[in-house]
Amino acid sequence: MSSRMASAATTTPPEIPTPTLLPPLGAATAPMTTSAPAPSARSQRPRSGLGRTARLDIAESLRSRWFAVYTLVFGGIVALLFLFGLTESRVLGFIGLSRLLVTYIQLTMAILPIFVLITTVRSVAGDREAGVFEYLLSLPVSLGAWYWGKFIGRWLVVFLPVAAAMAAAVGIALLRGIDVPWPMFGYYTALLAAMSACFLGFGMLISSIARSTDVAQGAAFLLWLALLLFLDLILLGVMIQGRVAPEVAVGVALINPLQVFRTAALALFDPQLIVLGPAAYVILDHFGAHGFMAFALAYPTLIGLLAAGAGFVVFRRGDLP
């Protein structure tokens, strides 16, 4: 009996297994986290502020009075041209919608630049003068997205009413059974898009440099007046003096985007450019008819983008508030 009790006292008790869920004493414990579902690819993709800024600028333009006047002007031009029976007149052998489109593009070249310049220069300069830059900088939109978003939105607002007026003219012509010159319609539409981009770039540059809307509008009007006067008067004086070669005079004239637009509009229905006189030989020898039509689309668009890019550099490096 005593021997059994002694053997039971000498045997060690069985070990109790420690739970594995609890960490040992003294070890650093990490906070318990709940597993969340992985975000989808759409939620991980950042939303672009470019589209938001463009939509905001379009919405502001649609609410403004200048857009209503702008749309009524170009729509009224087409209505008046049809009302006065311009499609039934014959000029230089052209009749029907071709005659109307030629007249419409000539009127647009005189009205569109000043409309684009006056309305665009208020975009950046108006926000600076209103003191909303501090609020804009607090938004999660980069400066590049804000600037180029305004450029794209304003280009759509400027170009679409002009193109819609031409499309309305085509629709009326189809209803009346008038033949539609589709190549002329397509090229004139592209020419208006290039013209809008060109002067929109000039407007953004002036708006970035000017510190008030009054200064910006004055500079825009002076630019339009200089290009308009340079269209004929200075070139005519240079050629009368006869101190430079005709190639140089024509080359200097083609620096002016308005001169390029007018010559391209003439080249479509007058491939020999008889209206321009001796200057036509210089243009056709260097470009050719189709080459100059391509130049009239590429050059103004490039000038407008370069001007807008220079405006963005000034805008980014300037004193925004």
Tens digits of residue pLDDT in 263-306: 888 777 667 776 666 667 777 788 887 888 899 999 999 999 99
Average pLDDT over residues 252-256: 81
More confident residue, 34 or 264: 264
- What is the length of the chain? 321
Cα–Cα dist 165/173, whole Å:
12
Residue 145: pLDDT above 60? yes
For 130, the 3-state DSSP assignment is helix
| Assessment of whether the complete model's pTM goes beyond 0.85 | no
CA atoms within 13 A on the CB side of 105: 28
Query: Residue 56: how many CA atoms within 13 Å on its side-chain side?
Result: 14
Q: 157 near 62, Cβ under 8 Å?
A: yes
Where along the chain do its domains lie?
49-315
DSSP type of residue 13? P
- What pLDDT sits at residue 75? 78
Alpha carbons 245 and 239: distance in angstroms, whole number: 8
pLDDT band at residue 309 under the 50/70/90 scheme: very high
- Return d(Cα 253, Cα 68) in angstroms, integer: 34
Question: What are the tens digits of pLDDT across the range 164-217?
Answer: 888 888 888 888 877 778 888 888 889 999 999 999 999 999 988 887 888 888
Backbone angles phi, psi at 113, to 5 degrees: -60, -45
Per-residue pLDDT tens over the stretch 89-132: 454 445 567 777 777 888 888 888 888 888 888 777 777 777 66
Q: Please report which confidence band the pLDDT of residue 32 belongs to, taking 50, 70 and 90 as the band edges.
A: very low
CB contact set of 113 (below 8 Å; sequence gap of 6+): 195, 199, 224, 227, 258
Cβ neighbourhood burial of 310 (10 Å; 0-12, 13-18, 19+):
middle
Q: Is the pLDDT of residue 148 over 60?
A: yes
